[in-house]
Structure 1
Amino acid sequence: MSQSRPEVHFTSLNSPLSTRSEVVEACTSLLRPLLPFFSPGRTRLRLGATATRYDEAGAQLEGFTRPMWGLGALLAGGDSFPESELWLEGLRNGTDPSHSEFWGYSKDMDQRMVEMCPMAFALCAAPKQLWDPLTEKERLNLQKWLDINKKEMPNTNWLWFRVFANLALLRNGADYDAKRLEADLDHLDTFYRGDGWSNDGPEHTLQMDYYSGSYAIQYLQLLYAKINGDKDPKRAEEYKNRAKLYAKDFMHYFDEQGRAITFGRSLTYRFAMAGFWAAVAFADLELEPPLTWGVVKGLLLRNLRYWSRQPDILTGAGTFNIGYTYPNQFMSENYNSHGSTYWFMLSFACLAVPEMHPFWKSTEEPLPVNSIPAILPLKHPKHIMVRRGGHTFLLSSGQMCHYPMRASESKYGKFAYSSAFAYSVPTGGYFVEAIGGDNTLALSDDAGETWRVRRKTLNARLETEDNSPVLISTWTPWDDVSVETILLPPTEDAPNWHLRVHHITTGNRTLKTSEGAFGLDGVSQKDERELPQMTGQDTEGRVEGAGETLAVSRGGAVGIVELHQPQRRAGRVLDEDSNSNLTECRSVLPSLAMDLQPGIDTWLATAVFAMPNTVPDYRQRWKDGFQNRPKIPDWLKQKMAG
């Protein structure tokens, strides 16, 4: 057995994290470990040695500003944090051009613009502690530093950061650019697509992830509505109405245990994935049934509890590392410093409201799974949300990151994303175990030397067949090769399965193919070694055969089966490259392999089985579920025959 090690948690494992005071303690317990890392002038925190695409001063500024999401909420709610004086001192020195630790003024596309947002929130929420003590000269320095009104910014959620820079000045009686504030808000409103959903950019892009909800757009809309609603009531009301619509969809991205579906970029922000629910509390927004205050409270606090139980998200010093449930640079982006991770703390906005607020007074309620659809198509993000067979996940087609990003094909291009079985990312490109191959169809035209997976989809669309939603899209790994993929959610008769049907035209190439199911924990519970072959009465292990394969471990049970021509595909359980999966540093991947000859059309009908470990007695129940296989619907059989 492995040797145990001391675990570091950001709050007591015995804390139920159900009351305001307990959440206050969780927030302060994340602020305290930062104190030894302040620079002499209190303007920067160096929390790690890895680099970002922007300068080191900007990276250390992140360490200073992002905790201000939590600090500002604490102070706004009437709680004390004696060391808040360090941030006040940092504001004075960092914005003083004559000080040795001056942050520097923003250039075009500067990371400093991002960091103005949590700072601006804190200045709006807690002016008595962070603005009023400043001298007139210090206020002018801060005003000049926040003036980015003539700087170029990305045409994305970043524009909200300039809105908040102006908002902080407006709410504190300083000079601001009213025309730029209005113009930015008007432009951001062009990102709105309907039904509560905004795109993270202009219409020709399709990126609707946690940025368009909890990290930035929906979140900041609600903060704006609360902070500036008295001066801009019409826009504030519009933002609240959008949030009411969005909430009905966004609740489907969380499971009953509090986990969020792993999808998209910047997942190292962790608890920020639930930030929207904190903003609902901050904005005093009553949502529509079944989203009572008790349900909203449960959505936020269950997610906080989940993260509080993950010891490997913290360094030995108690600060956040880069990763998801353990340190992992493979899944990070080139804009992630150790300070970046503290975007996490925006989800403490609920602390800005008092103990007597209905959010805190309400009794926490579970997710109302009996009153929401088990299958829900979402036309704007092009997702089919699924809550069936004990599993919460989504099917996806059409989204992509419209600028270069590490592992963007894994973050947006996979067929399915789950709250129980996190996605994997590439660690290299020269063997199939290293490509992050879960929920992808990978193709190689050089005998397996390199692999291509879906990144950019064409003509992605939601359709309805047999009263059930389906997702259809095409992608072209090479100019002469095309793949049409049809995704079907589970049926009531086979609740643990979803279908993927692929029509592949090979062109002039000989292709190797590998299609992955969900990745899962690949460690044997018996001896903590690699997952063995399953025999006899074993309750864990791997099974490999013609046209099908399965793995059962302490993570759950996952399998994959070819329904159309099983003898042509070989089932195998891949030992994924270590540290490729977001939650399991040693993961396995049930997959199907097949070679294709040039100049042919091929139909593959893949059924993917998944039963999370949260299903009672899953080690016994998976057997019946795995044998209860879905059928290719008649309409699809006709399409394949044609």
Structure 2
Amino acid sequence: MMPPVATPSENRELSPFTGWTRGHWETVADELLLAVRPFASPRRGLIDLPGPRPSSSGHRSDGLEGYARTFLLAALRVAGAHGEDPHGHLARYAEGLASGTATDRGPDGWPRISDVPQAIVESASVALSLRLTRPWLWDALDDRTRQRAVDRLLPALGPSPVDNNWWLFGLTVAGFLQDAGIETDLARRTIDRSLARIDEWYRGDGWYSDGAGRSFDHYNGWALHLYPVLHAHLGGDRELLERYGPRLRAHLDGYARLFGADGSPMPYGRSLTYRFAAAAAPWLGALTGYSPLTPGTTRRLASGAMRHFLDRGATDDRGLLTLGWHGPYEPVLQDYSGPASPYWASKGFLGLLIPPSHPVWTNREEPLPAETGDAVTTLAPPCLLVQSTAADGLVRLHNHGTGYAAAVDDPCYARFAYSTGTGPTPADGTLPDNHFALLVGGGHTARGPVEPEGSGPGWAASSHTPCPGVRVHSLTLAHGRAEVRAHLVTGAPEGTQVRQTGWAADPDGPTAQLQPVQGYTVRTASPSGPTLQGPATRTAALHGTTGPGPDTLFVALASLTAEPDPAPVTALAEVGTSGRTLTVTWQDGTTSVRTCGPPWS
């Protein structure tokens, strides 16, 4: 019999926002690890969880994913407790390592990297787990098991088959091998090559693109910053820390603004089912000293994110993390998702490596940026505008510079706006939220590849080509909870229909408003299906047509708020236009003047 997992009492003196302490994190880690045990293979080499299987890698790959990602959680739990392991987690993973590497056949055998590329991803979690627990697991293994494990890991040191954050999986395997004194020359070459590759994607101010193009999202924190900085920290490499640590600090300055007062990370980008992995980078900043956040804010952010999901059904009645956001929700899955994919949320437990006496655990929780006042923040490299309001704790992200190269019209990348309280609507033919489109050929145009065209205090701009010969220049201005959305359509024939949609509002969620200012003649509202926030939404839309000249300007006012009985958005801003120039007088009397379309001024 395993000892029961006792849930600590909340401590609202130390943690006035979440009530959570380090003990809660340890308890949740144990509960998640105990819940997956019934799904282990006979000798624990695979953990094959139930659930949808969008991935084509197969059951054996899914089982390795279950082993590797939960092994990482066990490693963080035990390493953070300096080897104390009352639930016997490591013994099970040591047995699984021996059986899984012994063969690629039978009920326990791991697939080989040469056969299943996904095994490269999981090799990184295995290697990092071995590095974290080396005194208690690796050093206690017999030589034959160690050699078989090395044989399975070594192929990960080759060139990455995917030209994005996958380069860092080889780095992570190499870091373990280097520490263990195995193939050190090859490990060093792999580390240098991997870091050189991601350096090519660094865009400044703490932001990487996840590969070529403009793929900006959570992978900045849970991969592109995590692996290099943690590798340098674990290896005591001051030179690397001084190279990559300041990038992490710069990233966290804006990243912390993407969490709502309810703890929600911004549902923007792919792999959202990793959920509270979003807390990995803030924990890493506290662990290494490269953070602009106070210890109390760091813990409030991380505990808030964890509670946000656990309090909203992220685990099922068996205690398993589901494929989705709050609960199961298949539209956020990718073709590489498997039943164990959500367990990369294990990265969110990185804070357990920080000693219990550290201020991040002992200082009183402090509010998030979203709770300290209204703010509009420009993140220049990805060309994102982050708008938060303290009255309701909502955060909205206005997207003028990112897209995922592998899926041009992906709802999690291609919408003009996202928030911690809404959508996005799925790509299944329902009305897309926060979208501007030409209505041609019986359908609507996709946004297409986005080209940023500038950003500054309170504004961001971009352009895209929705169809041949037509260019759309887009501008967002934000102040308080008010948004001005402007689009200059150039090259479209006279009479071309256009449509601007607003926020996808859940009946029990925030209030969405959308009002025409110029160019639109009709306003409608239609059901827009389920989103990760709820089973039913309605989305407003404005309709207009292009005029006879070379370009037509369309302008709207929008708002999203959780305030009760909000004033109409038309009371928050007055918009005047002269040609392509907008003059906006906000409710507090301040004025913004911007031109839509080049030259930006």
Question: TM-score range with shorter-chain normalisation?
Answer: 0.7 to 0.9
The answer to whether the aligner puts 1:573 opposite 2:578 as a matched pair is: no
Q: How many residues align?
A: 566
| 2:591 aligned partner | none
Letter in 2 for 1:299: L
Letter in 2 for 1:43: G
| Cα deviation code 1:5-29 (max 9, x no counterpart) | xxxxx97997855211111001111
Letter in 1 for 2:381: H
Q: 1:600 deviation in Å?
A: 6.7
The answer to whether the aligner puts 1:25 opposite 2:27 as a matched pair is: yes
| 1:287 aligned partner | 291
Aligned match for 1:475, one of 464, 467, 473: 464
Q: 1:90 deviation in Å?
A: 1.1
Q: 1:451 deviation in Å?
A: 2.3
Give 3-state SS (helix, strand or coil) of 1:583's partner: coil
The answer to whether the aligner puts 1:244 opposite 2:249 as a matched pair is: yes
| Cα deviation code 1:213-268 (max 9, x no counterpart) | 2x201122331122012xx3211222222222222111111123322122111111
8 Å Cα contact 1:480/1:508 also seen in 2: no
8 Å Cα contact 2:519/2:545 also seen in 1: no
The answer to whether the aligner puts 1:125 opposite 2:132 as a matched pair is: yes
Q: 1:609 deviation in Å?
A: 1.4
1:587-606 aligned at under 5 Å gives the runs: 587-595=537-545, 601-606=551-556
Distance 1:51 1:206 in 2: 25
Q: 1:77 deviation in Å?
A: 1.5
| 1:303 aligned partner | 305
Distance 2:355 2:595 in 1: 59
Aligned match for 1:145, one of 113, 138, 152: 152
Give 3-state SS (helix, strand or coil) of 2:385's partner: strand
Distance 1:368 1:599 in 2: 45
Q: 1:368 deviation in Å?
A: 4.7
Distance 1:319 1:278 in 2: 24
| 1:560 aligned partner | 514
Seen in structure 2, the aligned counterparts of structure 1 residues 108 and 33 have a Cα distance that, compared at 3 Å, is: closer
Aligned match for 2:229, one of 203, 206, 222: 222
Seen in structure 2, the aligned counterparts of structure 1 residues 36 and 12 have a Cα distance that, compared at 3 Å, is: farther
Aligned match for 2:122, one of 105, 115, 120: 115
Letter in 1 for 2:448: R
Seen in structure 2, the aligned counterparts of structure 1 residues 51 and 378 have a Cα distance that, compared at 3 Å, is: closer
| 1:440 aligned partner | 435
Letter in 1 for 2:528: E
TM-score (norm 1): 0.82
Aligned match for 1:453, one of 446, 451, 455: 446
| 2:239 aligned partner | 234
Give 3-state SS (helix, strand or coil) of 2:168's partner: helix
Aligned match for 1:199, one of 181, 194, 209: 209
Q: 1:162 deviation in Å?
A: 0.5
8 Å Cα contact 1:517/1:608 also seen in 2: yes
8 Å Cα contact 2:474/2:488 also seen in 1: yes
| 1:44 aligned partner | 46
| 2:366 aligned partner | 365
| 1:84 aligned partner | 90
8 Å Cα contact 1:507/1:599 also seen in 2: no
Letter in 2 for 1:27: A
Distance 1:94 1:17 in 2: 40
Aligned match for 1:188, one of 185, 198, 207: 198
Give 3-state SS (helix, strand or coil) of 2:349's partner: helix
1:263-342 aligned at under 5 Å gives the runs: 263-283=268-288, 285=289, 287-288=291-292, 291-311=293-313, 313-342=314-343
The answer to whether the aligner puts 1:484 opposite 2:477 as a matched pair is: no
Give 3-state SS (helix, strand or coil) of 1:488's partner: strand
| 2:503 aligned partner | 518
Seen in structure 2, the aligned counterparts of structure 1 residues 395 and 641 have a Cα distance that, compared at 3 Å, is: closer
Give 3-state SS (helix, strand or coil) of 2:331's partner: coil
| Cα deviation code 1:70-120 (max 9, x no counterpart) | 211111022423143221111111111376232132128811111112212
Give 3-state SS (helix, strand or coil) of 2:129's partner: helix
Seen in structure 2, the aligned counterparts of structure 1 residues 258 and 446 have a Cα distance that, compared at 3 Å, is: same
8 Å Cα contact 1:269/1:344 also seen in 2: yes
Q: 1:462 deviation in Å?
A: 1.6
Seen in structure 2, the aligned counterparts of structure 1 residues 555 and 122 have a Cα distance that, compared at 3 Å, is: same
Seen in structure 2, the aligned counterparts of structure 1 residues 195 and 109 have a Cα distance that, compared at 3 Å, is: farther
Give 3-state SS (helix, strand or coil) of 1:366's partner: coil
8 Å Cα contact 1:513/1:593 also seen in 2: yes
Give 3-state SS (helix, strand or coil) of 1:594's partner: strand
8 Å Cα contact 2:71/2:125 also seen in 1: yes
| 1:545 aligned partner | none
Seen in structure 2, the aligned counterparts of structure 1 residues 564 and 68 have a Cα distance that, compared at 3 Å, is: same
| 1:54 aligned partner | 57
Seen in structure 2, the aligned counterparts of structure 1 residues 185 and 136 have a Cα distance that, compared at 3 Å, is: same
| Cα deviation code 1:573-610 (max 9, x no counterpart) | 21112x3x121121111222335589874321011111
What is the RMSD of the two structures over their aligned residues, measured on CA atoms?
2.8
Q: 1:511 deviation in Å?
A: 4.2
8 Å Cα contact 2:386/2:396 also seen in 1: yes
| 1:630 aligned partner | 574
Distance 2:466 2:551 in 1: 15
Distance 2:137 2:417 in 1: 45
8 Å Cα contact 1:91/1:142 also seen in 2: yes
Seen in structure 2, the aligned counterparts of structure 1 residues 480 and 363 have a Cα distance that, compared at 3 Å, is: same
Segment of structure 1 superposing worse, 245-254 or 186-195: 186-195
8 Å Cα contact 1:445/1:509 also seen in 2: no
Q: 1:341 deviation in Å?
A: 0.7
Aligned match for 1:154, one of 131, 147, 162: 162
Distance 2:30 2:360 in 1: 20
| 1:94 aligned partner | 100
Give 3-state SS (helix, strand or coil) of 2:144's partner: helix
Letter in 1 for 2:303: L
| 1:532 aligned partner | none
Give 3-state SS (helix, strand or coil) of 1:45's partner: coil
Give 3-state SS (helix, strand or coil) of 2:381's partner: coil
Distance 2:395 2:241 in 1: 33
| 2:488 aligned partner | 503
Q: 1:327 deviation in Å?
A: 1.3
Distance 2:104 2:550 in 1: 70
Distance 2:490 2:477 in 1: 21
Aligned match for 2:77, one of 74, 78, 83: 74
Distance 1:99 1:139 in 2: 19
Aligned match for 2:398, one of 383, 389, 395: 395
8 Å Cα contact 2:171/2:191 also seen in 1: yes
Distance 1:626 1:416 in 2: 19
Seen in structure 2, the aligned counterparts of structure 1 residues 641 and 31 have a Cα distance that, compared at 3 Å, is: closer
Q: 1:370 deviation in Å?
A: 8.1
Letter in 1 for 2:527: D
Distance 1:168 1:43 in 2: 20
Distance 2:115 2:48 in 1: 24
Distance 1:369 1:55 in 2: 42
Segment of structure 1 superposing worse, 75-84 or 317-326: 75-84
Give 3-state SS (helix, strand or coil) of 2:139's partner: coil
Distance 2:34 2:371 in 1: 41
Q: 1:357 deviation in Å?
A: 2.0
Q: 1:319 deviation in Å?
A: 1.0
